[in-house]
Chains A and B, each alone.
Chain A
Amino acid sequence: MPVFYLEIIVVVLGLVMLMVDAFVKLEDKRHIAWIGVLGLICVFFLLFKVEWPTTTESTFWKFYDHEEGTRGFSLFYKGIAVLCTIIVLIMGAEFRGVIQKYIAPPEPGAHPQSGLGEFFALPVFACAGLMWMASASNLVSIFVALETVTITFYVLVAYMRRNVGSLEAGVKYLILGALSTGFLVYGFTWLFGITGSMDLAEIKTALASENVNVAAALFAFGLIIVGLGFKVGAAPFQLWIPDVYQGAPTPITAFLSVASKSAGFIVLLRIAGCFLSSAYLSEKIGAVLVVIAILTLLYGNLAALPQKNFKRLLAYSSIAHAGFLLMALASPPGKSGGLNSPAVVISFYLGAYLLMTLLAFLVMTAVRNTQEDESVDAYAGLARRSPFLAFALLIAMASLAGIPLTAGFFGKFFVFKLAFENGASWILIAAGIIGAAAGFYYYLKIVASMYWAEGDDEADSISVSIPSKVTMVLLMIGILVAGVVPNAILSLLG
Chain B
Amino acid sequence: MTFLFYIFAALTLVGGIGVVVYKNPVSSAFAMILSFLGLAALFIQLDAYLVGILQILVYAGAIMVLFLFIIMLMDVKAEENKTFRGGAILGAILVMGGFAAALVKVLLDSRIGEGKLAPLAESEQSDVHAIGDLLFTQYWFPVQIVGVLLLVATVGVVVLSKKEMK
Contacts and interface: CB of A to CB of B under 8 A. Distances in A.
Q: Do A and B bind each other?
A: yes
Contacts of A121: 155
Interface residues of A, number: 46
Interface in A143-160: 143-145, 147-148, 151-152, 154-155, 158-159
B89 interface: no
Contacts of B111: 213
B160 interface: yes
B156 interface: yes
**Which 6 A-B pairs rank lowest in CB-CB distance, beginning with the nearest?**
A155-B156, A215-B109, A216-B110, A148-B149, A144-B145, A219-B106
A335 B103 CA distance: 36
A23 to B, nearest CB: 15
Contacts of B137: 59
B105 interface: yes
21 contacts: A18-B155, A59-B141, A63-B142, A64-B141, A104-B163, A105-B165, A118-B159, A125-B148, A125-B152, A141-B145, A148-B152, A151-B152, A151-B156, A152-B152, A155-B153, A155-B159, A159-B160, A194-B110, A213-B112, A215-B109, A219-B103
Interface string B88-129: 000000000000001101100111100011000000000000
Interface string B135-166: 00111111001101101110110111011110
A216 B112 contact: yes
Given A122-B155, A158-B160, A213 B148 contact: no
Main secondary structure of the interface of B (DSSP, over half): helix
A354 B138 CA distance: 36
Given A104-B164, A154-B156, A148 B138 contact: no
Interface of B: 102-103, 105-106, 109-112, 116-117, 137-142, 145-146, 148-149, 151-153, 155-156, 158-160, 162-165
Nearest to A152: B152
B5 to A, nearest CB: 18
Main secondary structure of the interface of A (DSSP, over half): helix
Contacts of A193: 112
A193 B110 CA distance: 11
A213 B110 contact: yes
B111 to A, nearest CB: 6
Nearest to B138: A59
B127 to A, nearest CB: 18
Contacts of A105: 164-165
A11 B153 CA distance: 14
B145 A151 contact: no
A141 B152 contact: no
A310 interface: no
B67 to A, nearest CB: 14
Interface in A10-36: 11, 18
Contacts of B139: 59, 140
A196 B114 CA distance: 13
B148 A129 contact: yes
A194 B103 CA distance: 14
B106 A215 contact: yes
Contacts of A147: 149
A216 B159 contact: no
A207 interface: no
Contacts of A151: 149, 152-153, 156
Contact of A215 (B105, B140, B160, B162): B105
A267 interface: no
